[in-house]
Structure 1
Amino acid sequence: MWKDYSKSYIKNNRASSISIMVAALIATFFLSLINTLAYNFWVYEIERIVLEEGDWQGRIIGEIDKDRLSLIQNFGNVEKAIVNQELYSEDGVVVDVYFKNKKTIYEDMHLILERLGFEEKSAIYHELLLSRYLVHDPQDSTPPLLMTFYLGILLIISFSLILIIHNAFELSMNARIHQLGILSSIGATPKQIRTCLVQEAVMLCIVPMLIGNFIGIIVSFGLMKVINFFAADISGRHNAIFQYRPYICLFTFLIAFLTVFLSVWIPARKLSKMSILQAIRNSGGLQLKKRKNSRILYLLFGAEGELAGNALKAQKKFLRISTLSLLLSFLGFSIMLCFTTLSGISTRYTYFERYQDVWDVMMTIKDTRIENFELMEALKVTPGVRDAIVYQKAETITLVTDTWQSDELIALGGLETIAENIKEEGQFNVKSPILILDDASFLSYCSQIGVSPNLEGIILLNQIWDSVNSNFRYKKYVPFVKENRKNTVLYSTSENLIELPILSYTQKAPALREEYENYTLVYFISLSAWKKLSEQLGGTKSNVYIRILSSENVDYADLSDLEGTVARNLESAGYIIESENRIQEKISNDNMQKGMVMIFGAFCVLLAVIGIANVFSNTLGFLRQRKREFAGYLSIGLTPLQMRKIFYIEASVIAGKPLLITFFLTIVVVQFMTTASYLEPMVFWREAPVVPILVFAIAITFFIALAYCIGGKRLLKCDLNETLRNDSLV
């Protein structure tokens, strides 16, 4: 009998049944989608860290012989311990330790060190990798919480999706209280009613949940392919491989099924506690606990606005998820677009436009000293090369006294105020990068700044950022030191003072793609001069850099060919290199921006779909419950046109509320971001993403209006007069 009743109810209440099936399909689809994507993003992050830094979890450095290594390997939670042959430490052998249970790594490493008789400083933890497994140092008061933050977002989205199913069933249950009360009056037990409702839920939801789960997996696979396509040109990125585990499918399905079960069981249990008379008297309509006047809606739309306001208040509980989802989606989408636009402007101003005339191709030669590089002359005569500078970086300390600081710097408060540099023994230790240029490039640089070409001595970049009267976006500089000295004193790695002649002071740096640190004294020196000083001065970095300028008005194909030619010549000579070209860098940056917009945009669309799906669910689910409400309106003289107006007002409020809130919040956030980035507001507003934001807003409004249009048409097609006197079972 109960099976026949369930089949009859589903057949005769298609709108309610379809809304439940759609809710189950959409919720399970998005649960499957976000769980699968989250898992793949997590796996990709682990792979990236392992490729860049290794898969070790902990390291122990010290005098470790075979017995001590065996002690580490035999520790209970240690999976394996391997001597790292590639790393050398002055403190002893480096052992990479892997654990079976990563959660206890900090406690276990402490115990291992105690048994070895080592101090805590002998242990190193792979904190970045461990943080991706939510393992943090218990002694760290500020642990990295990025993964926890992402997990929190995932849980919030999942909870929102679960509520879609729950709300759909709650609407259906509320609409059936009257019917189920009649069934109770003729002898149906609470257990029979609960069993009936559960079997209906299974009949309606099992297939949509399976389909939604499968579609979520397919769409996740497609999105991974799209992400790989957009990010293909990003330097240093490895390809993401789609991965899936059966427990993801099982977890998604169980969550959805459990939600369906509880969504049916809880209302059914509440119903069993109601008296039969209470259940029969329940009309199934919307109940407004506390009536308040909707003054704004009344002033704008008259009596229809007042009625729409009361209806929205009655639906407040069911529309809460819709409102929150729509608000978060539109706010997130707007802020995300504004942020990426601002980021693009900032990158363009500080990088691409600043350096577009400085370089075309950059080569990094790994683990090579510039004095040992033998292809300088051949490089400069390569077809297509207009200019090339070969250089290497070193670092030292310059001793600057109060008397050597420029008058302009003293007027700003000196190094103590500008750079917060602390004076030691009457002078300041100023960090000083040294750029070693090949001889031909150094002589050319001398000519550019009006200095007699000379390979002996150094050129001092005499400028310091005036951080008092300018910001990092629009920097102003003042002279760093007085130009009255012919020599400068540098501090060598052997703690000796080396005096070098200054060829010239200048405010013009050579055309290199280099960003010099604030508050540093930068020196430029020829390779010939450096060869005489390198052993004494030290501090040389490990890589050699080559900056190449190609022919003017070069296109992407020509620049790529030039990059390939130079790279092949260097590799054939046995050098290990990394290369990049200006146009490819711009393309990669644009693709990365597009990929970021796509990922965040998809996330915002997901939130919007959650909200819109909930609106559809509520609108179609309330159809049966609102028949009596609108039949009452009809009985007091409202026309179908006025009832349509009520629907339009409700749709406008549901869509308009999050849009208006977002509008004001976005302006506040944009103002804050432009202020924090020291960007002139009009620069941003000229490129503000107004059109895509408006399109997104219109799309949200359209779908909400569509939901109410469908619901309104179905409602007005019903025989509302019959509804007022119909108390029979459907």
Structure 2
Amino acid sequence: MLRTYIANYIRANKASVISLAALSLIASVMLGLVVGVGSLVVRDYLVRMEYLGETPSVTGSSIAFAIVTALCSISIVLMLKSAFDVSMSARMRNLGLLKTAGASDSQVRLLLLAEGCTLSLPAALLGVLMGMALSLAVIGAILALTAGDRAYEPVIELSPLSVALGLLVSTATIVLSALLPARRLGRISVIKAIEQGTDEYRSTGRPYGILARLIDNRIGIEAKLAACSLRSRRRNMRTANVSIACALLAFVTLINFETLSHLSTQATYFERYADVWDVRITVDGAADLGADDSLIEMVRSLDGVDDVSLGDPYKADSEDLFYNIRTESRTAEADVALQLEQRFENTEGIEVVSLSEEAERDERARAGLRLFIDVFASILALIGISDVFSSVLGRIPSRRREVSQMVAAGISRKQIRRMFTAESFFIIVRPFSIAAILNIAIVALAICASPVSASDFLTNMPIVHIATFTAACWLLVRLAYLLGEHAVFAPAE
């Protein structure tokens, strides 16, 4: 009976089944990528400890990867739970009819759990394997780019235990995601199930929101309809709203702090020393010994050296001795730095630094940090956007009834399409407004505690970066609504 029910459901709801399987595949690819990268790092650490004859211990990296894996699993559970909730709640009336026919709570719960696992588990297992294969490709590409900077060759292999762990985590994620809504719907009463299954779109009777009122004069009744529709479905959109809000808040906050940190570093280091030295030699603990005249003469004899000075007024209390070297050009700076690095390569307590190389190194590090911020915020945003897809595409029958009521009330298809556009706009603009307001206070406090002025920050504020990320989120949400519009206006089978 269970197999027949699931087979009939798949035949009658192909679009919903494909959407749920695709969502499970994408989510599991992300999970497999995280598990794969973490396993590769841990495997390389264990092999390196064995080679060095040392005892492996719990490191900060292993703890960090465990936390990231746990957070990724929790996020995917919330994302898939929302998708399962939408899919299962759409058949609330059918569940009520099953209970009137004598099905118990445990039977309904088992039915929903088996249905969720059957539809999502194969795609999830495939996604984990794809994600782990992708982790091998990503790590291999990173190692290829950094081949010249490594002191040893890392071990790049995934053990059978790592693959089994990935499959186990994926299976547990799918089962838990399906079990949470199945438990809730399994306990619902027959009367409530049938009553909720026949609910049509209804107004909440509450004000339609300040954002809708602000643009009401521009798009008319469509803003009110969009705001009321979102308010009536706010429980189903909770995961989407929270995830998108957290993504935008995290992205705007982190990218603003990265910009502030960059400006602070420029002001307190690169600009401060730009006219003081191009290459610096730092001798540890030599301040009391005084300058080494032979070292100064050797430096001055190098081609491209313009001047040599001593000390650092910004580090007057330091016990180190600083030799500040000015060069004739950037090319000369690189040549002088290279010659000095080779000369003092095996000398302890002496460090040679090139200001231009430091600036390039800082820029590379900040580019990596910005990439991490983009990826981290994108994962959070994709969780919410995936929930938007499941909410929009998983409730096509109810939206058709809603649209039918609007058409009967005299609202045109053009107005309904504009209402869908307004909904997608509200979904992004509302959390973005919250993130912007909070960031005004956060950045203001940070500027007060930094050497950067407000005018300098506003001049260098990453507006384009923030606008690009926000627009990308909105385009994905709009895509979900475009697919929903096509399904709503398509002839019902």
Partners of 2:445 and 2:371 in 1: CA distance: 24
Partners of 2:408 and 2:467 in 1: CA distance: 41
Equivalent residues of 2:201, 2:398 under 8 A apart: no
Equivalent residues of 1:231, 1:592 under 8 A apart: no
Matched, 1:160 2:106: no
Shift in CA distance, 44/324, structure 1 to aligned 2, threshold 3 Å: farther
Equivalent residues of 1:355, 1:513 under 8 A apart: no
Give 1:258's aligned amino acid: A
Map of 1:559 onto structure 2: 333
Equivalent residues of 2:20, 2:119 under 8 A apart: yes
Partners of 2:282 and 2:152 in 1: CA distance: 20
Q: 1:529-540 to 2 correspondence within 5 Å?
A: none
Partners of 1:362 and 1:228 in 2: CA distance: 31
Shift in CA distance, 26/637, structure 1 to aligned 2, threshold 3 Å: same
Q: 1:300-319 to 2 correspondence within 5 Å?
A: 300=216, 302-319=220-237
User: Paired residue for 2:430, among 644, 649, 657?
Assistant: 657
User: Paired residue for 2:379, among 589, 602, 606?
Assistant: 606
Matched, 1:382 2:302: yes
Partners of 1:44 and 1:673 in 2: CA distance: 39
- Residue 345 of structure 1 and its aligned partner are, at CA, apart by 1.4
Shift in CA distance, 634/689, structure 1 to aligned 2, threshold 3 Å: same
Q: 1:492-571 to 2 correspondence within 5 Å?
A: 510=310, 512=311, 515-517=314-316, 546-550=323-327, 552-555=328-331, 558-570=332-344
Map of 2:206 onto structure 1: 292
Shift in CA distance, 618/231, structure 1 to aligned 2, threshold 3 Å: farther
Q: 1:94-105 to 2 correspondence within 5 Å?
A: none
- Residue 594 of structure 1 and its aligned partner are, at CA, apart by 0.7
Shift in CA distance, 261/570, structure 1 to aligned 2, threshold 3 Å: closer
- Residue 173 of structure 1 and its aligned partner are, at CA, apart by 0.9
Map of 1:204 onto structure 2: 119
Partners of 1:200 and 1:713 in 2: CA distance: 27
Q: Normalising to structure 1: TM-score of the pair? A: 0.58
User: Paired residue for 2:245, among 312, 327, 349?
Assistant: 327
Q: Deviations over 1:520-553 (max 9, x none)?
A: 5x9xxxxxxxxxxxxxxxxxx6x77654332x23
Q: Deviations over 1:233-281 (max 9, x none)?
A: 99x9999876756555544443443343344445445555555565455
Matched, 1:254 2:172: no
Equivalent residues of 2:312, 2:322 under 8 A apart: no
Matched, 1:171 2:115: no
Partners of 1:179 and 1:186 in 2: CA distance: 11
Partners of 2:47 and 2:277 in 1: CA distance: 33
Matched, 1:616 2:389: yes
- Farther off after superposition, 347-356 or 272-281: 272-281
Partners of 2:19 and 2:470 in 1: CA distance: 24
Secondary structure of 1:318's match?
Answer: coil
- Residue 624 of structure 1 and its aligned partner are, at CA, apart by 2.8
Name stretches of at least 5 consecutive residues in structure 1 with no aligned partner: 57-97, 103-128, 135-146, 390-509, 523-540, 720-729
Partners of 2:26 and 2:322 in 1: CA distance: 54
Map of 1:504 onto structure 2: none
Partners of 1:281 and 1:17 in 2: CA distance: 25
Partners of 1:350 and 1:226 in 2: CA distance: 35
Map of 2:27 onto structure 1: 27
- Residue 310 of structure 1 and its aligned partner are, at CA, apart by 3.0
Partners of 2:113 and 2:407 in 1: CA distance: 36
- Residue 159 of structure 1 and its aligned partner are, at CA, apart by 2.1
Equivalent residues of 1:230, 1:592 under 8 A apart: no
Partners of 2:297 and 2:223 in 1: CA distance: 82
Say what the alpha-carbon RMSD is for the aligned residues: 4.1
Partners of 1:177 and 1:546 in 2: CA distance: 77
Matched, 1:8 2:12: no
Greater percentage in strand = 1
Shift in CA distance, 6/37, structure 1 to aligned 2, threshold 3 Å: same
Partners of 1:241 and 1:515 in 2: CA distance: 44
- Residue 180 of structure 1 and its aligned partner are, at CA, apart by 3.7
Equivalent residues of 1:19, 1:168 under 8 A apart: no
- Residue 4 of structure 1 and its aligned partner are, at CA, apart by 3.7
Matched, 1:594 2:367: yes
Shift in CA distance, 133/195, structure 1 to aligned 2, threshold 3 Å: closer
Secondary structure of 2:396's match?
Answer: coil
Shift in CA distance, 674/298, structure 1 to aligned 2, threshold 3 Å: closer
Partners of 1:38 and 1:168 in 2: CA distance: 27
Shift in CA distance, 355/183, structure 1 to aligned 2, threshold 3 Å: same
Equivalent residues of 1:325, 1:607 under 8 A apart: yes
Equivalent residues of 2:128, 2:170 under 8 A apart: no
Q: Deviations over 1:592-617 (max 9, x none)?
A: 11111111221111111111111111
- Residue 708 of structure 1 and its aligned partner are, at CA, apart by 0.9
Shift in CA distance, 274/237, structure 1 to aligned 2, threshold 3 Å: same
Name stretches of at least 5 consecutive residues in structure 2 with no aligned partner: none
Secondary structure of 1:386's match?
Answer: strand
- Residue 13 of structure 1 and its aligned partner are, at CA, apart by 1.1
Equivalent residues of 1:286, 1:314 under 8 A apart: no
Partners of 1:359 and 1:237 in 2: CA distance: 30
Equivalent residues of 2:81, 2:180 under 8 A apart: no
Give 2:403's aligned amino acid: F
- Residue 176 of structure 1 and its aligned partner are, at CA, apart by 1.6
Shift in CA distance, 285/241, structure 1 to aligned 2, threshold 3 Å: farther
Shift in CA distance, 292/270, structure 1 to aligned 2, threshold 3 Å: same
Shift in CA distance, 370/228, structure 1 to aligned 2, threshold 3 Å: farther
The size of the alignment, in residue pairs, is: 484
User: Paired residue for 1:340, among 242, 248, 258?
Assistant: 258
User: Paired residue for 1:698, among 471, 475, 484?
Assistant: 471
Give 1:293's aligned amino acid: P
- Residue 659 of structure 1 and its aligned partner are, at CA, apart by 1.1
Map of 2:488 onto structure 1: 715
Secondary structure of 1:655's match?
Answer: helix
Shift in CA distance, 46/370, structure 1 to aligned 2, threshold 3 Å: farther
Equivalent residues of 2:29, 2:129 under 8 A apart: yes
Secondary structure of 1:362's match?
Answer: strand
Q: Normalising to structure 2: TM-score of the pair? A: 0.82
Give 1:361's aligned amino acid: V
Q: Deviations over 1:480-508 (max 9, x none)?
A: xxxxxxxxxxxxxxxxxxxxxxxxxxxxx
Shift in CA distance, 212/130, structure 1 to aligned 2, threshold 3 Å: closer
- Residue 199 of structure 1 and its aligned partner are, at CA, apart by 3.9
Q: Deviations over 1:204-242 (max 9, x none)?
A: 2123212321333344445556766888999x9999876
Q: Deviations over 1:449-476 (max 9, x none)?
A: xxxxxxxxxxxxxxxxxxxxxxxxxxxx
Give 2:14's aligned amino acid: R
- Residue 628 of structure 1 and its aligned partner are, at CA, apart by 2.4
Partners of 2:43 and 2:390 in 1: CA distance: 35
Secondary structure of 2:410's match?
Answer: coil
Equivalent residues of 1:337, 1:689 under 8 A apart: yes
Map of 1:629 onto structure 2: 402
Q: 1:104-183 to 2 correspondence within 5 Å?
A: 155-183=70-98
Shift in CA distance, 260/268, structure 1 to aligned 2, threshold 3 Å: same
- Residue 682 of structure 1 and its aligned partner are, at CA, apart by 0.6
- Residue 171 of structure 1 and its aligned partner are, at CA, apart by 1.0
Equivalent residues of 1:359, 1:513 under 8 A apart: no
Secondary structure of 1:638's match?
Answer: coil
